[in-house]
């Protein structure tokens, strides 16, 4: 019962911090996924590029190295790397190191989104490309007017799932006190000397956010299947 009483007391006194943390977590996640989609789209196009220099496909090679490097190293390591390295390379960033954290999250998300988009494009029947080219469309027109619109149905649910994953992954950014939910937990923990109670509240908020989004994604997937 003491735990329940402490939770009620914490919610009554620090509800504004939880609200701020929730807003910052959602904002950070939205920014990460938005820029991750832009970066991922560019990487996906590079991955499927057929441009050759000799026997080498340079765009494909560069994108593959980037994706494998990002996906092959822990996110926390990348956050530390950008947090300490970028201000050394660009001193102006030392004024606001949160930019380094956001950039690291976006670049990390971009690598995963690139694979989502590439898989979605690859899932479109090759006959669609052949039909578009036979009608006189060039490569860019075929991609933008024929392939990509069809691939969106495959990509959209996966992108929504990426958003859910990013919401949880942003908790690692609390190591650098960016104002997210886990940062607010540390603040409340330091003020109350209570560890379990604020952690339970934060866990419930994370669960509500991800569970709600998962249900929205399930509805979206059903509607997309119905429209096929």
Q: For 192-228, how does the pLDDT look when each residue is reduced to its tens digit (9 = 90+)?
A: 888 899 999 999 999 999 999 888 888 877 876 666 5
Q: In whole angstroms, what separates CA 213 from the centre of its chain?
A: 14
Distance CA 100, CA 106 (A): 10
HSE-up of residue 30 (Cα within 13 Å, Cβ side): 7
Token pair in block for residue 134: 């036979």
pTM reported for the whole predicted model: 0.85
Domain positions in the chain = 2-226
Q: Which of 86-90, 166-170, 219-223, 224-228 is modeled with the greatest confidence?
A: 166-170
**Whole-angstrom distance, CA of residue 105 vs CA of residue 78:** 8
Name the residue among 18, 16, 41, 21 with its Cα closest to residue 167. Answer: 21
Distance CA 63, CA 80 (A): 23
Q: Determine whether domain 2-226 maps to CATH 1.10.3720.10.
A: yes
Q: What is the rounded distance in angstroms from the CA atom of residue 78 to the CA atom of residue 81? A: 5
């Amino acid at each position: 019962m003491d735990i329940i009483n402490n939770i009620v007391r914490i919610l009554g006194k620090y509800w504004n911090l939880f609200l701020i943390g929730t807003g910052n977590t959602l904002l950070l996640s939205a920014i990460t996924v938005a820029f991750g989609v832009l970066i991922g789209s560019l990487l996906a196009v590079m991955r499927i590029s057929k441009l050759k220099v000799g026997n080498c496909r340079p765009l494909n090679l560069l994108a593959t190295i980037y994706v494998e490097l990002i996906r092959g190293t822990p996110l926390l390591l990348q956050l530390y790397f950008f947090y300490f390295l970028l201000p050394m390379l660009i001193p102006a960033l030392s004024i606001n190191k949160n930019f380094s954290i956001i950039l690291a999250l976006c670049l990390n998300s971009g690598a995963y989104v690139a694979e989502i988009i590439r898989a979605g494009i690859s899932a479109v029947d090759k006959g669609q490309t052949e039909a578009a080219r036979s009608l006189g469309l060039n490569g860019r027109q075929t991609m933008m007017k024929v392939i990509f619109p069809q691939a969106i149905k495959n990509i959209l649910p996966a992108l929504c799932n990426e958003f859910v994953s990013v919401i949880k992954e942003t908790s690692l950014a609390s190591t650098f006190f960016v104002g997210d939910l886990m940062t607010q937990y540390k603040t409340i923990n330091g003020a109350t000397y209570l560890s379990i109670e604020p952690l339970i509240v934060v866990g419930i908020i994370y669960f509500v956010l991800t569970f709600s989004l998962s249900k929205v994604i399930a509805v979206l997937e059903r509607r997309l299947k119905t429209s096929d």
